[in-house]
Amino acid sequence: MVSELNPRSSKEEIVEEFRTQSILEAALRVVARKGMAGATMAEIALEAGIAKGTIYLYFRNREDLLDRASEFALSQLLAELEDVLAAKRPFAEQIRILVRKKFDFFQRHLEFFRVHMAIRQAEGAAPCPPEEHPPREVYLERLATFFAEAIERGEIRRTDPRRLALFFLEGTTGVMFRRLVEDDGSGPDEDADLIVNLMLNGLDTKRE
């Protein structure tokens, strides 16, 4: 899960970006394997192949590292979703792939997002969907364009594409967020199917 480094950065900046990214990726892997209790700075440093003290050159403490790792992971998710949106497919096929991609990503990083929420609650912050950070607005605009194009092609009925994008984003994120705090026995595939069916068929029993 490696993102592109800024080609206009200086050599020192590139090294710093690479080192920071390596630490963030290491944090994600450690949390996935060992959970919050096992995600110590020492374990993360060992995973990244650096001295423990080096981490503190880039992050204030463990909470800062895990919080930034959450933003990093979500930026990676949005990049994957943008690749899906850029493809030319029929709307029904595209929406299924989009939802599945998002749910698959979240399921792979489920333990990490539990850690993220636990940290926010410990700090006294209200739990909120983990997508609430600046790239979210960019993705929201891209979704609005996606829905507007589907409307123009006549694949879905006319409605406000921006409101539809917000409904879709908040709906998928909200369902994933609830998976952090409750376990009703349903799997991610069931949740993904629920959202896809609602998007394609609504709640009208005549369309079942």
Beta-carbon-side half-sphere exposure of residue 27 (alpha carbons within 13 Å): 29
Between 87 and 113, name the one with better pLDDT: 87
Radius of gyration of the chain (CA): 19
- Whether 97 shows a pLDDT value over 90: the answer reads yes
Q: Which CATH architecture has domain 63-207?
A: Orthogonal Bundle (1.10)
Query: What would the pLDDT profile of 59-86 be if each residue is shown by its tens digit?
Result: 999 888 988 888 888 888 888 888 899 9
DSSP string, the chain: --PPPPTTS-HHHHHHHHHHHHHHHHHHHHHHHHHHHH--HHHHHHHHTS-HHHHTTT-SSHHHHHHHHHHHHHHHHHHHHHHHHHS---HHHHHHHHHHHHHHHHHHTHHHHHHHHHHHHHTTPPP--TT-STHHHHHHHHHHHHHHHHHHTTSS----HHHHHHHHHHHHHHHHHHHHH---S--HHHHHHHHHHHHHHTT-GGG-
Looking at residue 173, its pLDDT comes to 85
pLDDT grade for 6, boundaries at 50, 70 and 90: low
Tokens read off for 148: 């507007």
Domain residue ranges in the chain: 1-59, 63-207
Q: Quick one: pLDDT at residue 108? A: 81
Nearest to 102 by CA among 177, 173, 46: 173
Is pTM beyond 0.85 here?
Answer: no
Is there a contact between 46 and 55 (Cβ–Cβ < 8 Å)? no
Q: What would the two tokens of residue 15 be?
A: 């090294």
Task: Note whether 121 and 127 are within 8 A (CB).
Answer: yes
pLDDT at 110: 79
CA atoms of 112 and 110, how far apart (whole Å): 5
- Tokens for 57, please give them: 């050159």
Q: Is the model's pLDDT at 57 over the cut of 80?
A: yes
Could you give the CA distance from residue 58 to residue 22 in angstroms, rounded to a whole number? 11
In CATH, what is the architecture of 1-59?
Orthogonal Bundle (1.10)
For residue 135, what are the CA distances in angstroms to 6, 37, 91, 102, 132?
A: 17, 29, 24, 15, 8
